Amino acid sequence: MIEARRLHILRAVADHRTVTAAAAALYLTPSAVSQQLTALEQETGHRLVERGAKGVRLTPAGEILLGHTNAVLAQLERAEAELAAYSSGSAGTVTVASFATGIGLVVAPALARLAVTSPGILVRVQDAEGDASLPMVLDRQVDIAVAVEYRGAPDADDPRLTHVPLYAEPFDAVVPVTHRLADADEVPLAELAKDPWIGPYPGNPCHDVVVLACENAGFQPRLEHSSDDFRAVVALASADAGVALVPRSALRGMDLTGVVVRPVDGVAPTRRVFAAVRRGAEDHPLIRPVLEALTRAATVD
């Protein structure tokens, strides 16, 4: 008989690629993870992982079991949801991880709405970028992630997750008031190819959006300054340190002295924001109202 907790460990190892990283995500020791993998191999009668200098990879048998693992764990999430519904599930705690702008735009309004519609649900919020929040959901550290599409992110049809689209917003060009394009109605990205750039660090989903937009315009941006805080990005632009692309919602209420904000000429780069939960958990009586409140906040905005 295969134990479900060992399937969790197998999936964590497949996601994180090393026993050490999987153990840290699951709050276990590496030796405990190795012991559970060995026990799972004994239960199945197959070698499931291969260890090498670059980490751990699944064997063909391990890949087969991983496919079933995703289905089994999703079904267990559904079972928990139905049992919670049976017990009413009207009170409890839901944890949400979101990037900072998402907290202000949809998470905080959703909390205000839930205080009226579902006062028994306590929502705890953690600030985390999208590339961090999705693994937190998969590792059961949080219940919901508000994340941004980025290269390398799990697809919408990933068997481990259920995606709920929230909103999409364009990036605007931010240039110093002294810039040669400051008086333009729209800014062609190709005209910024030789400028110094200010942007998020690699790994931040917005970094991917900026780089991909510049690549589509025919150049690689020369990133001279890096910050994941868009207030810092705008401040650097106002000091004539370079140009930037910033999500429109991140500019709301910001001090824009010294810069000009203009739409991008042509197809604007866009960040698409969604909520994600472990597949099968979307109908949990605590999680479902939070997802509905997030969706409502996104459409009201």
Predicted confidence (pLDDT) per residue in 93-116, tens digit: 999 999 988 999 999 999 999 999
Q: Which CA distances in Å does 117 have to 275, 289, 293?
A: 20, 9, 9
Single-letter code of the amino acid located at 238: S
Alpha-carbon distance of 277 to 116, in angstroms, equals 23
Q: Write the DSSP symbol of residue 105.
A: I
User: How do beta strands 121-127 and 92-98 pair?
Assistant: parallel
- pLDDT, one tens digit for every residue, the chain (301 residues): 788 888 889 898 888 988 889 889 888 898 888 888 888 888 888 888 888 777 888 899 889 988 888 888 888 888 887 777 666 666 789 999 999 889 999 999 999 999 999 988 999 999 998 778 999 999 999 999 999 887 777 888 899 999 999 999 999 999 999 999 999 999 999 999 999 999 999 888 889 889 999 999 999 999 999 999 999 999 999 999 999 999 998 898 899 999 999 999 988 899 899 999 999 999 898 999 999 999 999 986 5
Alpha-carbon distance of 152 to 194, in angstroms, equals 28
Alpha-carbon distance of 57 to 18, in angstroms, equals 8
Name residue, tokens 């998402």: 102
Alpha-carbon distance of 279 to 300, in angstroms, equals 26
Q: Cβ contacts of residue 29 below 8 Å, gap of 6+?
A: 23
Q: Which two tokens stand for residue 241?
A: 């340190």
Where are the extended beta strands (E) located within 77-193?
92-98, 121-127, 144-148, 161-176
Which of 205, 243, 208, 244 has the alpha carbon at shortest distance from 102? 205
Whole-prediction pTM value?
Answer: 0.70
Predicted confidence (pLDDT) per residue in 142-173, tens digit: 999 999 887 777 888 899 999 999 999 999 99
Q: Which CA distances in Å does 195 have to 7, 12, 177, 258, 267?
A: 50, 42, 14, 17, 20
Alpha-carbon distance of 271 to 212, in angstroms, equals 12
pLDDT value of position 239: 96
Which of 180, 170, 179, 149 has the alpha carbon at shortest distance from 266? 170
Q: Which two tokens stand for residue 81?
A: 């949801």
Instruction: List domains and CATH numbers for the chain.
Output: 4-83 (1.10.10.10), 90-167+272-298 (3.40.190.10), 168-271 (3.40.190.10)
Alpha-carbon distance of 251 to 232, in angstroms, equals 11
Q: Cβ contacts of residue 189 below 8 Å, gap of 6+?
A: 173, 213, 214, 216, 217, 264, 265, 266
Phi, psi of 204 (to 5 degrees): -70, 130
